[in-house]
Amino acid sequence: MNESKALITNDAVVLGILMLILAFVFYTSSKKTGFWAKFYSIIPSVFLCYLLPAVLNTFNIIRGDESGLYTITSRYLLPACLVLFTIGIDIPGLRKLGRKSIIMFLAGTFGIMVGGPLALLIVGAAFPDILTFGGEESWRGFSTIAGSWIGGGANQVALKEVFGASSNLFAQVVAVDIIVANIWMGVLLFGTQYDAKINRWLKADNKEIKELEAKMEAVAGAAENRKNGTRELMLLLGVGFALTGLAHLLADILAPFFKENYPATEAYSLTSTFFWIVVLATTFGLILSFTRVRKMETMGASNLGSVFLYVLVATIGMSMDLKALLENPKFFLVGILWMLVHIIFMLLVARLVKAPFFYVAVGSQANVGGAATAPIVAAAFNKYLAPVGVLMAVLGYAVGTYGGYLTGLFLQWVSNFLQ
């Protein structure tokens, strides 16, 4: 038997350590005053959920490559997470936000889908060495940024598996993702102080936002009045894992079918079992969002999905080698150009349709930041508008897998073209 590199090899102990880390992060990040409030105003909590397990891995206290926890969380918790996030999408509610809100969200999505391949084309043409990292194709890692910036962490992890990015490559792009995205969020929060001036430049009327504030204030706190217990939790677990099981069942049929009859589709990941698992899980959640099952969101579907997601994030972190983070700073150049394309496209569309800056900011964060940060940006305009950020961000979870997958294919084409 080969001697282990890690100090702790028992997965039960490792899981206990990871859960303790998550508990610590969530407890300290809930502080509204004092040192921790200032700390988390600079360092996002999700970053610590990646970073602390990565520190333990880097110093060989635990080792992701010797643990089975990531396989379990990615195959079971991730699809259930996708179901729980998408099941609560309120399509009629999205329509009530007005067409400009949807236009700006989709403009943000399109800007990311175009921006990534364009940034890789520009930087790759100038620095061809960026096209590979550690012997593998860099586009596989960049595709996970597309999943994150269109949808969220669950979509990002799904695309990591679909396109086969290694842990070291993933560590590189996660750093790009988090740093670039949080810089942009800071710019948006700063911009809320100049909302009126920006709206004048966009030639936008802010009247509909004021009306929306009044409506949201009237219904604020309705969901919080509902008391949920063990019954609701078991219903959520039942739906989430039942659909996860169904996704696995169908994926075990579809992947071999494509592999045997259409082997050329391997280039599009159609022969991958995991690809079908995440696509089917997302699709099942979307279908149920058109039924009465959507009301399970008031039971805490998104909250439970977030728990699954953060456990998944921690297991990803324990596979990261922090020493590899600074091996290729050119990755950040791709990320910055990528974000600039997204920003420029959103501002052009906003000026064209005369959309208020609120829709620009929240539509962008609904893509780039997801449900964790879109409500923060929305609340910076008015605290009663935070649910609007959640509503738009949940739409991102639905399209994140699909949009990120297509962007990954575009990135692959650019990489092949440059080589």
Per residue in 157-185, pLDDT tens? 788 888 888 888 888 888 888 778 878 88
DSSP secondary structure letter of residue 229: -
Classify each residue of 314-336 as buried b or exposed e, where b means 16 or more C-beta atoms within 10 Å of its C-beta. Answer: bbbbbbbeeebbeebeebebbbb
DSSP secondary structure letter of residue 4: P
Q: What is the greatest pairwise CA distance in the chain? A: 70
Helices 167-191 and 301-317 sit at what angle, rounded to 10 degrees? 130
In this structure, are residues 363 and 396 in contact, taking their beta carbons and an 8 Å threshold? no
Per residue in 24-81, pLDDT tens? 999 998 888 899 988 887 777 777 888 899 899 888 899 887 889 988 998 899 889 8
Q: What is the pLDDT of residue 219?
A: 47
In this structure, are residues 56 and 319 in contact, taking their beta carbons and an 8 Å threshold? no
Give me the phi and psi of 269, to 5 degrees please.
70, 15
Own/partner contacts of 197-200, CB < 8 Å, gap of 24 or more, are 198/357, 199/356, 199/357
Strands (E), 112-217: 132-133, 136-137
Q: What is the pLDDT of residue 220?
A: 46
What residue type is 410 in one-letter code?
F
Q: What is the pLDDT of residue 107?
A: 93
Tokens at residue 406, please? 């297509």
Q: With a cut of 50, which residues of the chain have pLDDT below it?
A: 1, 219-220, 222-223
DSSP secondary structure letter of residue 155: H
Q: 74 by DSSP, 3-state: which?
A: helix
Q: What is the pLDDT of residue 279?
A: 82
Q: What is the pLDDT of residue 417?
A: 93
CA-to-CA distance for 240 and 381, rounded, in angstroms? 34
In this structure, are residues 6 and 61 in contact, taking their beta carbons and an 8 Å threshold? yes
What residue type is 233 in one-letter code?
L
CA-to-CA distance for 79 and 276, rounded, in angstroms? 10
CA-to-CA distance for 276 and 296, rounded, in angstroms? 25
What residue type is 316 in one-letter code?
I
What residue type is 261 in one-letter code?
N
Cβ–Cβ contacts within 10 Å for residue 106, how many? 16
Q: What is the pLDDT of residue 1?
A: 42
For tokens 């030639």, the residue is: 203
What residue type is 290 in one-letter code?
F
